[in-house]
A and B are shown apart, each in its own frame.
Chain A
Amino acid sequence: MDHKELAKAYWKKNLTYVGVLLFIWFMASYGAGILFVDYLDNFTLGGFPLGFWFAQQGSMYIFIIVIAAYMVLMNKLDKEYGFDEQD
């Protein structure tokens, strides 16, 4: 593949990652912490009503995992397509 095609394929994969990860981001906060919070409160986790836990704790931990996953995936993708920066 030439540079242009490589860049296109790289970008497409990047968009897939971003889409999937933003879906998780949305479900953790707007889903579990806001839209379904009352339903989830029927369950408990470590003394917390589950919805309350997502709203005040869990969503933030999932945000960290989402960014970490993106970092790992993209570093791998950079290498795969040869776009990783040299030191």
Chain B
Amino acid sequence: MDPILLWTIIIVGASFALYIGIAIWSRAGSTSEFYVAGGSVPPLANGMATAADWMSAASFISMAGLIAFMGRDGSVYLMGWTGGYVLLALLLAPYLRKFGKFTVPDFVGDRYYSSTARLVAVICAVFISFVYVAGQMRGVGIVFSRFLNVEVELGVVIGMIIVFFYAVFGGMKGITYTQVAQYCVLIFAYLVPAIFISLLLTGNVIPQIGFGSTMLGSEQSILERLDGLSTEFGFDAYTSGALAQIDVFFITLALMVGTAGLPHVIVRFFTVPKVRDARKSALYALIFIVLLYATAPAIAAFARVNLFETINNVQYEEVPDWFKTWENTGLIVFDDKNEDGIIQYRADETINELHIDRDIIVLANPEIADLPAWVIGLVAAGGVAAALSTAAGLLLVISTSVAHDLVKRELAPEISDKKELMIARIAAGFAVIIAGYFGINPPGFVAQTVAFAFGLAAASFFPAIMLGIFYKRMNKEGAIAGMVAGLVITTAYIVYFTFIRTDLNNLENWWFGISPQGFGTVGMLVNFIVAIVVSKFTAPPPMEIQNLVENIRIPRELTDDESK
């Protein structure tokens, strides 16, 4: 048997056995364990779980490739997907922990003393999560098909069975501890090839420093070399940006605020015992995330140099083996336009002969750098871990939204804890099946819908929660009006440009040059403004709500003795 296939089966199989073992060990016994792991997760474990929860198939497989082809503009993802944790740590996490319930709609519904507000929050949470989870299941299927030669469909089904196991039985408790294991698998899988390649190209072990240093056997630094090669073949210089500054600004802000507003991330801060643990686990989470995110631009730069040097202006007959392997998957396409048998990789589409899918940068990296077979198996296991951990977190949000926010809080408050737990499990099971369906039959617009999910989170949850904590006078009228206004304008803009009039989706037609991807920032601003204006003209919230706000602002109440 082919050693790559053998190693992949062994490593992926071992990681699955580990996840299932954890699922059996961590079976949830109560709704509190199912929703928030009993509120007893140590901050270090919660930091790892948050990092795995957060880093999806897109972060692991696609991001470095995106950066490799965007150059400096790739920073929108780097800053956008990490900076949101500062907002979470300083503005949301500690207070939501103190609030001490199970879900984001719980907070919105209670803080704004309104079933309508809760319902709007439930719809947003479920919609955002479904949009996001479809892409994850697809990611699992793709990794399976490329590394294990099984059909994408079969890969999705295998992924569904694994997630079903630990999400349905273990709930948040099972998910948390499998995510800890998944973080370890995925970070190891990401760093090992990066370190190898950095050593090969620069002699430096640390990729983050390596991609600024000189190339071995050359006078130039990697980045100078890259700028030179890029401009020589008509591309923009790697270290300069091509996007408009205002768009970079708005996209980064939309991604940051969207990150801070995603329900599956927020809910992780409900699982730690204390307010100070919430602050600490936000710190751990960001450190664990940056470990991967600071490595990605190094991988991107190394891979882009490698592409220029190993396959550009090379005889097609003499390309390295990996080129032919990945050509079979359609991720690399060579179209010999001038029929000279030489691969010309150029910016100008009329003479460019090479098409490279961005996903190849991470997936084929070990082969390009000629690393041992086990490293390739490791990358496959890492990709699956990243996709499964995110999928599980999202499925849990869907299940709690239905069982807790909808059934327990609105429809049938009298049901017992046991019955609620059963409904949560059934909901999780259904969610897995629907997510799997979308994984097998992906709607043609998966890529656009992810931007949509971030935009909606930025335009709805972030302002509502932040105002709920920092502005005591905010009432239900203001909050609901703000959320609805933010949602409507964001949805209208994104749907118009990415689904209805895709032909107009360009700089000339965008408002102020802001792309749909960055429009969540506008939605957020509209939400803030509408909420504040409406609240000024309506009655202040009842006294008990104002007391609730005062309570969540401090880590604990003083006893009568202490406050004398």
A residues at B contact (CB < 8 Å):
2-3, 6-7, 10-11, 14, 18, 21-22, 25, 29-30, 33-35, 37-38, 41, 45-49, 52-53, 55-57, 59-61, 63-64, 66-68, 70-71, 74-75, 78, 82-86
For the complex, what is the distance from the CA of A41 to the CA of B71, rounded to whole Å? Answer: 14
Chain B residues within 8 Å of A78, by CB: 276, 555
Q: Does B550 contact A (CB under 8 A)?
A: yes
Q: Whose C-beta in chain A lies nearest to the C-beta of B297? A: A56
The listed residue (A10, A22, A46, A55) touching B79 by CB distance below 8 A is: A55
For the complex, what is the distance from the CA of A64 to the CA of B284, rounded to whole Å? Answer: 9
With contacts A66-B86, A71-B283 known, is A47 near B79, CB below 8 A? no
- Contact sample, A vs B, 7 pairs, CB 8 Å cutoff: A3-B558, A6-B558, A7-B550, A21-B90, A46-B209, A82-B562, A83-B555
Q: Whose C-beta in chain A lies nearest to the C-beta of B273? A: A85
With contacts A34-B248, A64-B286, A85-B556 known, is A57 near B294, CB below 8 A? yes
Q: Whose C-beta in chain A lies nearest to the C-beta of B227? A: A49
With contacts A3-B558, A18-B91 known, is A67 near B553, CB below 8 A? no
- Whether A85 contacts B79 by the Cβ 8 Å rule is no
Chain A residues within 8 Å of B214, by CB: 47
- Whether B213 contacts A63 by the Cβ 8 Å rule is no
For the complex, what is the distance from the CA of A70 to the CA of B86, rounded to whole Å? Answer: 10
Nearest-Cβ distance from residue A4 to partner chain B, whole angstroms: 8
- Whether B252 contacts A85 by the Cβ 8 Å rule is no
Chain B residues within 8 Å of A71, by CB: 89, 276, 279-280, 282-283
Q: Whose C-beta in chain B lies nearest to the C-beta of A5? A: B563
The listed residue (B74, B90, B555) touching A18 by CB distance below 8 A is: B90
Nearest-Cβ distance from residue B551 to partner chain A, whole angstroms: 9
Chain A residues within 8 Å of B85, by CB: 63, 67
- Whether B212 contacts A48 by the Cβ 8 Å rule is yes
Q: Does B223 contact A (CB under 8 A)?
A: yes
- Whether A64 contacts B290 by the Cβ 8 Å rule is yes
Q: Whose C-beta in chain A lies nearest to the C-beta of B557? A: A3
The listed residue (B276, B282, B297) touching A85 by CB distance below 8 A is: B276
- Whether A29 contacts B283 by the Cβ 8 Å rule is no
Q: Does B241 contact A (CB under 8 A)?
A: yes
The 9 A-B pairs of least Cβ separation, nearest first, read A47-B212, A55-B75, A3-B563, A56-B297, A48-B212, A47-B221, A52-B239, A71-B279, A67-B89
With contacts A48-B212, A55-B75, A78-B276 known, is A22 near B223, CB below 8 A? no
Chain A residues within 8 Å of B249, by CB: 30, 34-35
Chain A residues within 8 Å of B213, by CB: 46-47
Interface size class of B (residues with CB under 8 A): 35 or more
Contact string, B54-67, partner A, CB cutoff 8 A, digits 1/0?
00000000000001
Instruction: Scan residues 82-135 of chain B and give those whose CB is less than 8 A from a CB of chain A.
Output: 82-83, 85-86, 89-91, 94
* Main DSSP-derived SS at the B contact region: helix
The listed residue (A63, A83, A84, A86) touching B290 by CB distance below 8 A is: A63
With contacts A83-B558, A85-B275 known, is A11 near B239, CB below 8 A? no
Nearest-Cβ distance from residue A60 to partner chain B, whole angstroms: 5
Nearest-Cβ distance from residue A65 to partner chain B, whole angstroms: 10
Instruction: Scan residues 23-41 of chain B and give those whose CB is less than 8 A from a CB of chain A.
Output: none
For the complex, what is the distance from the CA of A22 to the CA of B470, rounded to whole Å? Answer: 15
The listed residue (A10, A22, A55, A63) touching B286 by CB distance below 8 A is: A63
Nearest-Cβ distance from residue A41 to partner chain B, whole angstroms: 7
Q: Whose C-beta in chain A lies nearest to the C-beta of B210? A: A47
- Whether B297 contacts A47 by the Cβ 8 Å rule is no
The listed residue (A38, A67, A85) touching B274 by CB distance below 8 A is: A85
Kindly name the residue among B213, B239, B241, B550 whose own CB sees the greatest number of chain A CB atoms within 10 A: B239
Nearest-Cβ distance from residue A51 to partner chain B, whole angstroms: 8
- Whether B75 contacts A56 by the Cβ 8 Å rule is yes
- Whether B276 contacts A60 by the Cβ 8 Å rule is no
Chain B residues within 8 Å of A86, by CB: 556
- Whether B241 contacts A37 by the Cβ 8 Å rule is yes
Given contacts A57-B208, A84-B276, 10 further A-B contacts (CB under 8 A): A22-B86, A29-B252, A35-B249, A49-B239, A55-B79, A59-B79, A60-B293, A64-B286, A67-B89, A85-B274
Chain A residues within 8 Å of B86, by CB: 21-22, 25, 63, 66-67
Q: Does B325 contact A (CB under 8 A)?
A: no
The listed residue (A60, A84, A85) touching B78 by CB distance below 8 A is: A60
Chain A residues within 8 Å of B556, by CB: 83-86
Nearest-Cβ distance from residue B541 to partner chain A, whole angstroms: 18
Contact string, B248-278, partner A, CB cutoff 8 A, digits 1/0?
1100110000000000000000000011100
- Whether B79 contacts A60 by the Cβ 8 Å rule is yes
For the complex, what is the distance from the CA of A55 to the CA of B249, rounded to whole Å? Answer: 12
- Whether B75 contacts A33 by the Cβ 8 Å rule is yes
Nearest-Cβ distance from residue B233 to partner chain A, whole angstroms: 20
Q: Whose C-beta in chain A lies nearest to the C-beta of B224? A: A47
With contacts A56-B72, A66-B86, A85-B555 known, is A49 near B274, CB below 8 A? no
Chain A residues within 8 Å of B209, by CB: 46
Chain B residues within 8 Å of A29, by CB: 79, 83, 252
Q: Does B506 contact A (CB under 8 A)?
A: no
For the complex, what is the distance from the CA of A31 to the CA of B224, rounded to whole Å? Answer: 24
Chain B residues within 8 Å of A55, by CB: 72, 75, 78-79
With contacts A71-B283, A78-B276 known, is A30 near B555, CB below 8 A? no
Q: Does B245 contact A (CB under 8 A)?
A: yes
Chain B residues within 8 Å of A49, by CB: 223, 239
The listed residue (A10, A46, A60, A74) touching B279 by CB distance below 8 A is: A74
Chain B residues within 8 Å of A75, by CB: 276, 279
Chain B residues within 8 Å of A61, by CB: 290, 294
For the complex, what is the distance from the CA of A78 to the CA of B278, rounded to whole Å? Answer: 14
The listed residue (A7, A56, A57, A70) touching B553 by CB distance below 8 A is: A7
